[in-house]
Structure 1
Amino acid sequence: MGTQQQDLYPDVTSSGGLAQAMRKVAELRGCDARLPPWATDSVVVETTRGLLSVHPSTERRLFRLRVEIIGFAVDAPGFSWNIGATDDLERLVESVAAWGNGTPLDELKERFEFLDLDVFTRSFENKTPTSLQWSGLMSSEFHQKQWNLLCRLHADEVLRDMFPSITHGAVRLRVDPLDATSRQVQVCELDEERYQMLRVGVPEADWIDVPADGLIARLRAALHDK
């Protein structure tokens, strides 16, 4: 940090960096900020609700919080939101820990008055990231080989609400765009009448052949069966 930031953040400077300062506070407060061991000045925390990062202001003492989800595909868009800021290091650490632990958004807003989650929440209520991801994949020349399959899947009113990505040439559909462990499937097109699908994360699951006339029903079932 520069001289100005050292004046603004003496607690951070004396600790040897933002991440180390946050670790010390987390230990004192008995919470887990989920900081990777290599983090020093740059703080990016991987959570089931995206990448949460902290950005100290250079103009005044203020820790800005931003959350981002990645587009998960070449040429597909990523999404980021500024969700609040505080000058209190302890409150910052507590909010990062609560976010990483999956605390419900309503509870986060109630506990941490400096968080502004309205835009973030509204974008997911309106399925904005999912819609933009579909649009990005279906217009990407890089994924032209998957266009027919993407269009077929997107035409279904249930499957178009799944978050899509491309993995080794196969289309991956995920129930929750923010949760990499949520229910998901992969599907690839062999030809216009034959497909293969894989239930991701299911022990001993393997690719199975699916005829064209049964594809949508099988995918719906795989994404919603308990």
Structure 2
Amino acid sequence: MEAREEDPYPDVTAAGGLAPALREEAERRGRDVGLPPWATDALGIETTRGYLSVDTEPGERLFRLRVHIPDFGWDIGSTDDLGTLVEAIAAWREDVLLDELAARFGFLDLAGFTGALEAGEPTTTQWAALLSSEYHRGQRSLLLRLHADEVLRNAFPTMTHHAVRLRADPMDWASRQVLVRATDGGRHEIVRVGTHGADWTEVPDDELITRLRAALDDERA
């Protein structure tokens, strides 16, 4: 008779899955891990520094924590302690400074993540991808002009229906954003995303960069 393999995650099994187990542990501790009652997995936990996700290691007890935005991701540590994991997720969502997080939670390894941010990633890689994309060849002239500006090149760029979207913070999807597009006749229009009643506004060519900078400037927002 074969020996029955021991479950390394009895608390997760008893809760009915990883997401319910995280919610239950968070409730016991009076913490918030950002998982709504209907969430069935521990993916896409929204924070102001990207999205957190948790998965488990098959065959051994290990919870792996990862931070990511679309197309970019970093593994930031693993632990066998569900309670410690909950505390770390809650602290991350509360915007505790990264140095303090690393000091408080020994299982976190933030060197790769912080090093990427200090090196200008993922913004630098995203600009390179857009500027070399044949699919966005029609917007290349505008992209080159935006990237040439020392301020705008630090904004995170994406494409939305042939318009360039510039986001102030690459890790925060809700941070200040502005859309800019070229129109017929070589003119440009911009719109500040998230502003009530905002609509496309034509901008004189010699004011384009200044207006885009202002839209992304917290002090002028």
Map residues 34-53 of structure 1 onto 2, 5 A cutoff: 34-40=34-40, 42-44=41-43, 45-53=45-53
Residue 167 of structure 1: how far off its partner (Å): 1.3
Residue 189 of structure 1: how far off its partner (Å): 0.5
RMSD: 1.6
Report the equivalent of 2:62: 62
Report the equivalent of 1:158: 151
- Give the letter aligned to residue 123 of structure 1: A
Residue 66 of structure 1: how far off its partner (Å): 0.8
Report the equivalent of 1:32: 32
Report the equivalent of 1:179: 172
Tell me: CA distance 1:192–1:119, structure 2 relative to 1, closer, same or farther (3 Å). farther
Extract unaligned runs of 5+ from structure 2. none
Q: How many residues align?
A: 215
Map residues 70-149 of structure 1 onto 2, 5 A cutoff: 70=70, 78-149=71-142
- Give the letter aligned to residue 43 of structure 1: A
Q: Is contact 1:192–1:212 with CA below 8 Å preserved after alignment?
A: no
Identity %: 57
Q: Equivalents in 1 of 2:37, 2:128: separation in Å?
A: 37
CA deviation string 1:170-209 (max 9, x = no partner): 1011110111221211100014641001111222222111
Tell me: CA distance 1:135–1:192, structure 2 relative to 1, closer, same or farther (3 Å). farther
CA deviation string 1:84-119 (max 9, x = no partner): 011101011111122122222122112211111111
CA deviation string 1:63-101 (max 9, x = no partner): 11111111xxxxxxx111110011101011111122122
Q: Equivalents in 2 of 1:23, 1:221: separation in Å?
A: 41
Return structure 1 stretches of 4+ with deviation > 6 angstroms.
none
Which TM-score applies when normalising by structure 1? 0.89
Report the equivalent of 1:170: 163
- Give the letter aligned to residue 149 of structure 1: L
Q: Equivalents in 2 of 1:59, 1:26: separation in Å?
A: 25
- Give the letter aligned to residue 23 of structure 1: R
Which TM-score applies when normalising by structure 2? 0.91
Residue 135 of structure 1: how far off its partner (Å): 1.0
Q: Equivalents in 2 of 1:51, 1:35: separation in Å?
A: 12
Report the equivalent of 1:17: 17
Residue from 182, 199, 221 that aligns with 2:214: 221
Extract unaligned runs of 5+ from structure 1. 71-77
Map residues 171-210 of structure 1 onto 2, 5 A cutoff: 171-191=164-184, 193-210=186-203
- Give the letter aligned to residue 134 of structure 1: W
SS in 2 for 1:39: coil
